[in-house]
Structure 1
Amino acid sequence: MASNKKRVALIGKIGSGKTTLMQRLNEEELKYSKTQMVQYFDDFIDTPGEFIELPFFSRQAINITMDAGLVILVNSCVDPQNSVPPNLIHTYNIPALGVVTKTDRSECNIKRSRNLLIYAGINPKHIYEVSSYTGAGIKELEAAIQHFMAPHRNK
């Protein structure tokens, strides 16, 4: 059976910055667009925020990760609400990273975002703080992605 684990699945709430983060990692122009459906790219799978926010879609989120070798749970540090269930990340049987986005914003609460990612099951050592607009933290995140994805992409 062929391995199809060469992509990174991005999951997170609506407006958490998944698409913008993917654009930054792909060195594309940053432009906002609401992800309406699952989008497959060469290296990424971009998912709608509804997959996390609405329990009805939880099975679809699990199915999407079947095509991924790594899942990244994205949390915006300016979002005061949590809709991610405890230990959600353990549902996916693949490595996981947590990313705190929008760290360039003045109303950012990184500690709260880190706690929510840990609550969701992310190992604290695998949480990265980034700004897709300024580029802060992107190099470290890219290195972590490469670390986890190299075995899949070098096949």
Structure 2
Amino acid sequence: MASNKKRVALIGKIGSGKTTLMQRLGEDELKYSKTQMVTYYDEFIDTPGEFIELPFFSRQAINITMDAGLVILVNSCVDPQNAVPPNFVHTYNIPSIGVITKTDLGECNIKRSRNLLIYAGINPKHIYVVSSYTGEGISELEAAIHHFMEPHRNK
């Protein structure tokens, strides 16, 4: 069975910016598309937002990310609602980081997003604030991904 330890799993609510973030990190063209199913790429696993929002799918989210080397929990700073349970990321036995997206939008609330990621179990030192469109914070996020994934990618 193939190992996905060399991949990063992106999880988050519908519309949180997971796919756009993945496109930015992969230096692909930024184009919106609703993720309908789990999609495996060379370096990423893109998951539908329903995996977070609907408890029925929580087991699938766990199964998908079990073979990843890193989980990135994505939170949009323009979304006022939380769908992630407390200490959610502790479900996974791998490192987790948080990413606050959509910071280029005017109604952004970074403090709320940071608190929601901490509530989900993300270490405050591992929360990155980015804009996939302007590129703000992307280099810091890339460095963090490289730090966490280096042990898996050198095997």
Q: Which residue does the alignment assign to 2:85?
A: 85
DSSP 3-state at the match of 2:65: helix
Structure 2: distance between partners of 1:4 and 1:88: 21
Q: Which residue does the alignment assign to 2:63?
A: 63
DSSP 3-state at the match of 1:68: coil
Q: Which residue does the alignment assign to 1:143?
A: 143
Structure 2: distance between partners of 1:138 and 1:127: 12
- 1:81-136 C-alpha deviation (Å, 9 max, x unpaired): 00100000000110000000000111000000000000000000000000000000
Structure 2: distance between partners of 1:75 and 1:87: 15
Q: 2:134 matched to 1:134?
A: yes
Equivalent residues in 2 for 1:110-125, closer than 5 Å: 110-125=110-125
Q: Which residue does the alignment assign to 1:12?
A: 12
Q: What amino acid does structure 2 have at the position aligned with 1:5?
A: K
Structure 2: stretches of 5+ with no match in the other structure = none
* TM-align CA RMSD: 1.0
DSSP 3-state at the match of 2:28: coil
Compared CA separation, residues 14 and 2, structure 1 to 2 (3 A): closer
DSSP 3-state at the match of 2:90: helix
TM-score of the aligned structures, taking structure 1 as reference length: 0.98
Structure 2: distance between partners of 1:42 and 1:154: 15
Structure 2: distance between partners of 1:4 and 1:117: 24
TM-score of the aligned structures, taking structure 2 as reference length: 0.98
User: What is the Cα deviation at residue 76 of structure 1?
Assistant: 0.0
Q: Which residue does the alignment assign to 1:42?
A: 42
Runs of 4+, deviation exceeding 6 Å: none
User: What is the Cα deviation at residue 2 of structure 1?
Assistant: 6.4
Q: 2:98 matched to 1:107?
A: no
Structure 1: distance between partners of 2:43 and 2:82: 28
Q: What amino acid does structure 2 have at the position aligned with 1:21?
A: L
DSSP 3-state at the match of 1:128: strand
Structure 2: distance between partners of 1:99 and 1:92: 17
Structure 1: stretches of 5+ with no match in the other structure = none
Structure 1: distance between partners of 2:2 and 2:132: 33
DSSP 3-state at the match of 2:128: strand
Q: What amino acid does structure 1 have at the position aligned with 2:143?
A: A
